Amino acid sequence: MSGCGTCEVKFEGNSRDFRRVLWIVIAINGLMFVVEMMAGVASQSKSLQADALDFIGDTATYAISLYVVGRALKVRATAAMIKGFALAALGLWVLGSTIYRVFYIGIPDAAMMGIVGVLAFAANAISALLLLRFRDGDSNVRSVWLCSRNDAIGNLAVILAASGVWSLKTGWPDLIVAGIMASLFLHSATRILRQAWGEIQSDSIDVKIKTT
């Protein structure tokens, strides 16, 4: 790509297979948001609630990704930027609510945390496997993969937190895991934003070259 340096053309998501996979993943994430949020509130688990919010965030992310498939690079990169900022906001919210919870620690229901955590991991593992072959696409496509990967990691962390709550009889493992998940959200948001910004700059350079 002219003026792009080390940039290379990446998969843009404009394929029937990718669209079909996105629809499946959107359905999985929407359903799991409802299930996990209800369980998080019932069990008073901050990590479950954080993971549920990630599910609804991913549902919106995948819907946006589906909408911009096939559009111009700048449109796709801008959509990725929006998703990156949304993911960062989610991470900051989880981090802030976790810090607040430190001053009022209750012991969540470890059994419910573990059961729902396993169910959520299964849902995200399926999503991640379906999206695995698309992980090296442009910022719009890559953001979908990163969200699914983060979810699977987060679910494993929730399961570990449930074990810690059960064995130690304290809510601290739940809070620690929620904090780790917030950090993971922020890290992924940074990666998405950097790639999207690079694509926007690259597109601007190409437009200038073509008009001169």
Q: What is the pLDDT of residues 102-116, one digit of tens each?
A: 555 566 677 877 888
pLDDT at 205 (0 to 100)? 62
Q: What is the pLDDT of residues 55-101, one digit of tens each?
A: 887 787 788 878 877 777 778 778 778 878 877 887 787 777 666 65
| Residue 136 forms part of a structural domain | yes
Owning domain of residue 204:
16-211
| Residue 118 forms part of a structural domain | yes
| Residue 126 forms part of a structural domain | yes
Record the pTM. 0.64
Q: Which CATH number belongs to the domain containing residue 30 in this structure?
A: 1.20.1510
| Residue 2 forms part of a structural domain | no
Quote the number of domains for the chain.
Answer: 1
Q: What is the pLDDT of residues 189-212, one digit of tens each?
A: 787 788 778 878 876 665 556 655
| Residue 196 forms part of a structural domain | yes
| Residue 198 forms part of a structural domain | yes
> What token pair was written down for 97?
């609510």
Contacts of 58 by beta carbon, 8 Å cutoff, 6+ apart? 25, 29, 147, 148, 151
- What's the rounded Cα separation, in Å, for the pair 47 and 121? 13
| Residue 4 forms part of a structural domain | no
